[in-house]
Amino acid sequence: MGNLLVQVFPYNGTHAVMNALRGGQIDASVAVLGLPKPHISAKSVRLLGVMGQRRPQDMPQVPTVRDLLGLSQLNVSSWNALEPLKTPIDSAR
């Protein structure tokens, strides 16, 4: 497998990313699957693979990235714990 050069561009939300992807301003995106699903269904973007350990139940034809690229240890979860920056440390635990 070759090297992959990635440059990260912050966008203000998934809708802006989908517009940039469909408009050709960016080549690819990594996103939580829920919001891009209508674009995938409309075939305005293509889902190359998912980063979890299993294929989506409603899209069994879509491979996992670990299978697609042979990366047996890859497992990326899309759930994150976030809080406002001003939250006291003790209340966050």
Per-residue pLDDT tens listing for the chain (93 residues): 456 677 888 888 888 988 999 999 988 888 888 888 888 889 888 888 888 888 888 889 989 888 888 887 777 766 556 667 776 666 555
Would you say 75 and 52 are in contact if contact means Cβ atoms under 8 Å apart?
Answer: yes
pTM as predicted: 0.65
Q: Where are the domains of the chain?
A: 1-47, 50-93
- Count the residues in the chain: 93
Round to whole Å and give the CA distance between 68 and 61. Answer: 12
Round to whole Å and give the CA distance between 91 and 72. Answer: 37
